[in-house]
Chains A and B, each alone.
Chain A
């Protein structure tokens, strides 16, 4: 079975540019989660969706961050404009239920110069 697929694996861009991260969850999983991981703050939940509907976006740091899930097999996390402090590894995860084990992608390592 294909796991959670994220793209790109690495992204390096200049401050002020728009960044779009993509995620394909495991088929049949109704929940999709976006996380950010840094050494200082660990793994932080940014937002999660249930059946393509955003349920909790309280972890989204600022209005510069937005996430969409147009269908059950695709989600995006967008940062516009990007800033150096956004540099981190961003993970997407999916699960059958909100309290069930989550399956993670390999992450996108984002560097904002």
Chain B
């Protein structure tokens, strides 16, 4: 059973466009993290959100944790080729078990 479902699975956009990636679950998470993975490397942490409704901004990236702490979104403004990669959400449940999402592969075309 996959606890964290991400959508879309694949996304290919032109440089300069905006996009949103979703991470959904029926379970409640005490915290949720977003990672980016580039080819040939391991995932690297982008942000952690812990409070329902929390919004965090990292330059052109905006992360939001759902009010019920069951879902999250990542919005990228004016995407650049350097944003290309696999985006993974990951959540810690109330039992402190850690789960990774199914992943969204983003390609930004120059």
The size class of the interface chain B forms with chain A is 20 to 34
- Are B45 and A105 closer than 8 Å at their CB atoms? no
User: Can you show 8 pairs from A to B with CB atoms below 8 A apart?
Assistant: A33-B98, A42-B102, A43-B103, A45-B98, A56-B97, A101-B48, A104-B43, A107-B41
Question: Within 8 Å CB of B97, what residues of A?
Answer: 56, 98
- Check A43–B98 contact: CB distance below 8 A: no
Question: Which residue on A lies nearest to B91, using beta carbons?
Answer: A99
Interface residue from B33, B42, B102 paired with A106 (Cβ < 8 Å)? B42
Nearest to A91 among chain B residues (CB) is B42
- Which residues of B pack against A, CB within 8 Å? 30-31, 33, 40-45, 48, 88, 90, 92, 96-103
> Is A43 within 8 A of B44, CB to CB?
no
Distance in angstroms from A14 CB to nearest chain B CB is 24
How many A-B residue contacts, CB cutoff 8 Å? Answer: 47
For the residues of B in contact with A, the DSSP-based class is strand
| Also in contact, A93 and B100, with CB within 8 A (given A43-B88, A99-B30, A101-B33) | no
Are B92 and A104 in contact (CB-based, < 8 A)? no
* B-contact bits for A63-100, CB 8 A (1 contact / 0 none): 00000000000000000000000000001010001110
Chain B nearest Cβ from A73, distance in angstroms: 18
Question: Number of A residues contacting the other chain (C-beta, 8 Å)?
Answer: 19
Chain A nearest CB, measured from B30 CB (Å): 7
Question: Are B100 and A45 in touch, CB under 8 angstroms?
Answer: yes
Given contacts A98-B92, A101-B33, A101-B45, contact A42 B98 (CB under 8 A): no
A104 pairs with B30, CB closer than 8 A: no
Which single member of B33, B41, B44, B96 contacts A98 (CB below 8 Å)?
B96
Contacts of B99 in A (CB 8 A): 45
